[in-house]
Amino acid sequence: MVVDYLWGRPTEVFLSSIEHDDVQLRSGRVHLLQAGEMAGPAISLPASVLRSAGVEILGMGTGTMPPVDVITGMLRELLDLLAAGKIRTDIAKVPLSAVSKVWGQDQQGRRPVFIP
CA 116 to chain centre: 24
- In a domain, residue 93? The reply is no
- Contact, 58 vs 34, CB < 8 A? yes
Instruction: Indicate whether 109 belongs to any domain.
Output: no
pLDDT of residue 27: 66
On whether the CB atoms of residues 2 and 28 are closer than 8 A, the answer is no
- Domain count for the chain, please give it: 1
pTM strictly above 0.75: no
**Residue 40 is part of which domain span?**
2-65
The answer to whether residues 111 and 92 touch, using CB atoms and an 8 Å cutoff, is yes
The terminus-to-terminus CA distance of the chain in angstroms comes to 27
Does 50 reside within a domain?
yes
* Per-residue pLDDT tens over the stretch 17-50: 988 877 676 667 889 999 999 999 999 999 999 8
Residue 105 falls inside a structural domain = no
pLDDT beneath 70: ranges in the chain? 23, 25-27
| CA–CA gap between residue 41 and residue 8 (Å, rounded) | 6
Residue 111 lies in a domain: no
